[in-house]
Copies of this chain bind each other. A is one copy, B any other.
Amino acid sequence: MSKNAREDILEVAKKAAQARGYGGLSMRDLAAEVGIKAASLYYHFPSKADLASAVAKRYWEDAAADLEKIWDEYSDPAERLRFFPVTFRRALENENRMCLCSFMGAEYDDLPDPVKKEVQVFADVNVAWLEKALVATGAVEPDASEARAKAVFAAVAGAQLMARSRADISLYDTLIESYRTAGLLPA
């Protein structure tokens, strides 16, 4: 693919993990897609756990950068919140994939600790951004803003999961719109 095998591995592994999770991520298949042998993977990453941890870390770093971009592009607090669900929509647009961290959240029991840690940072980053954005709208009581931010995150993740389980992206849009009608997200 590119000149940098390590980059290729991370990229292909990310897409695979978004579709099949940690357990479903096959080192042999991954290697084949990158164009090397499975054993060669272990030159770049000491173990599957290390690889997945690096993938999850980059995943939340990219998410954080995306959220920063939304923040800077819009000044209206409600406008910013309008765009939050778009980042989760993109995974579904991308061949019905889902958030890597939602999938791995489900796999909690089988997740190596370093991976678990990065997965939780992803949620932390999203919740912190949402809380900041919600407080700025002034529509949420300050002492309820953290709980509300978590609620929005959980609900959006749930919408993505449900839409994926039907391979129906229009269902995702319906769900987000219902959240707005119900008052969970600003209309």
Task: Spell out A's residues near B (CB within 8 Å).
Answer: 19-21, 23-24, 96, 98, 101-110, 119-120, 123, 144, 147-148, 150-151, 153-159, 161-162, 164-167, 171, 174-175, 177-179, 181-184
Contact = CB atoms under 8 A, between A and B. Distances in A.
Contacts of A123: 162, 165-166
Interface centre among A107, A120, A144, A171 (most CB of B within 10 A): A107
Contacts of A181: 144, 147-148
Nearest to A122: B165
B157 A175 contact: no
Given A158-B161, A183-B184, 20 more contacts: A21-B23, A23-B23, A24-B107, A24-B110, A106-B161, A106-B165, A108-B165, A123-B165, A144-B181, A148-B181, A150-B174, A151-B175, A154-B161, A155-B158, A155-B159, A155-B179, A158-B159, A182-B182, A183-B183, A184-B184
Contacts of A153: 162
Contacts of A179: 151, 155, 184
10 contacts: A103-B106, A104-B165, A106-B106, A123-B165, A147-B174, A154-B155, A154-B162, A155-B159, A155-B179, A182-B183
A143 to B, nearest CB: 11
